[in-house]
Amino acid sequence: MVDLLGRAGQLVEAYEFIENMPSGPDIGVWGALLGACRIHGNLELTELVADRLHQLEPQTVSFYVLMTNIYAEAGRWEDVARLRKLMEERELKKIPGHSLVEVNQRFHTFLSGSKSRPF
C-alpha cells in the first residue's frame, strides 16, 4: 500500500499509513517510501524517512547510497560529502553490481563498469 501511494505521489498519505500501522513498519516499508520521496523530490520527508531507516538498520549501505544520490540530484553537495564521510567512518562499502553470463558452457562474471570481454 505504501508503494502504491508513494508512486501516485501521495507521500503524506503513505507516511500516515505507516504511522498508523498496527505492527511496527520494517525497512521494506520505509524503503518503499524513501524511493517514492526520491521520485517526487520531497527532501523534507526524505530526511525523516532516512532517519527512521538508520534507526532500524544503521549498517545498510543501500540507504546511504540512495540518500547520497538524492542529495546529489538536489545539488546538496555538502550533504553528499557528509554522508560519504560517514560511510567511510562506519566502514560501509557499496558492493558493485554484477552479471553472470554463460558462453560456450562456461560462466563469466562481469562487474559493473568492467570493460573486459572474454569472447
Angle made by CA atoms 35, 80, 115, in degrees to the nearest 5? 80
Write the CB contacts of 43 (distance below 8 Å, at least 6 apart in sequence): 37, 70, 74, 76
Residue 28 lies in a domain: yes
- Per-residue pLDDT averaged across 33-49, rounded? 93
The number of folded domains in the chain is: 1
Residue 15 lies in a domain: yes
- Per-residue pLDDT averaged across 51-79, rounded? 91
Residue 102 lies in a domain: no
Share of the chain above pLDDT 90, in %: 63
Q: Which three cell numbers stand for residue 84?
A: 560519504
Is the pLDDT at 103 greater than 70, yes or no? yes
The predicted pLDDT at position 116 comes to 59
Q: Which domain holds residue 67?
A: 2-93
Residue 34 lies in a domain: yes
Residue 39 lies in a domain: yes
Predicted TM-score of the model (pTM) = 0.74
- 110: pLDDT confidence band, cut at 50, 70 and 90? confident
| Average pLDDT across the chain, whole number | 87
Pick from 42, 77, 43, 80: which is nearest to 64 by CA?
A: 80
